[in-house]
Chain A
Amino acid sequence: MFHYPFDPSSLAETARIWWNLYGYYLLLAIVIGTAVMTLLVAIPLAYRYKPGSHNPNAKDEIKPGEIPSERGRTAGVLLIAVLLLGVFFGLLTQSLEATKEFKKIELNGEIPDDALVIQVIGFQWGWTFRYPNGVETDVLIIPVNRMVVFNVTSEDVFHAFSIQDLRVKIDAIPGKYNIAWTKAYQPGIYRVQCYELCGVGHAEMITKVMVVTEDVFDFWYNSQGATLEEAMEEAAHTEG
């Protein structure tokens, strides 16, 4: 039922931003991680203790009761710090760039006119999705290629609303309305799940989102509460 596509970044605009940024981080993580790990393994092997080669009277040998001398060149230390700072600064600019896009609704303080705004209400243990036309469902239905804004809250405890495949996540907090958005690119069915421990039913606080074509969505939306199957049939009928 829930297929995992080949290119996860093509699923939605939010997924695209996420995977793009993730690529930068992963690349640097692998480069730096491998370099440091290599040193960590290679140095102890290269400088293994060998009876003949070690001079126990060397000037900076560790000796009982003697505080070891300070060691290391300032330049070398600075170089390391600057290198690390550079890397993190690079990542940071990428991250802030992505954040501007990702959090644009919060940052700009306005929801685009053509966006579909769905109210998401978490409760122990399930979700209610309320559409602008007043229809309420327990399965999320959204159109492709249109910005969908989730206005998320909770009726009881702290939950977290998430469509993990589309990289949507925001906490559902009682008394508070939080905003998340996405723009899906491919019809399909994805998992919607709660990501914050909310009691014994937490593991089962799971439902699905159906991303459908704009036509199907419009039929469904205008049918005022029909199931999606009925709407799809209707759509096929009218066209046929």
Chain B
Amino acid sequence: MRRIYESNALRRDDEPFSPTDPDDRRWTKALAGEHRTINWDAFSHAFMPGWLRERAITVDIETSRDRYEVGEPVGFCVTMRNRFPISVKLQTRSPVLWTWAVDGLVDAAKIDRSNPTERRSVFSFGRGERKRFERTWSQTIRHSRREWVPVDPGEYTLSAAINVPNAAERGLAAETTISIE
């Protein structure tokens, strides 16, 4: 679990009643002359065209098995990889950087919360970075804020996509099919 007091999500400054920063590296950074070196990541971002940046990233989705019994939790894993030796940043539609879906329903829900705000955001990949995310689908579809309905036996498509427009066409999505019997 991320702890709020140990994270950067807590505003810290010199004002009394706001927590002090245990890790104030401003000075050491300045001493190390960090401001003088070229930021290669920003550099490559500025000069690499968007279509090339997208080619760098692969998305993959894998379930623990192909067949499940009714009611059995479906564990799956989403892997994303940057194939390039330079860092890549993709602009996403909202701070939700990626989504997963069952038969096209994001988060297996009929209420789509993947773009809660208009605010765009950035999904960053380090050089050659691989990211892995684990999820479990409970074999239910959320019909409303407070109601979930179990699905019937049959085939279901699980998918994952980076939260950009037309992710599938741009190669930033993946899907797999399972059967529930």
User: A and B: real partners?
Assistant: no
B residues neighboring A (CB under 8 Å): none
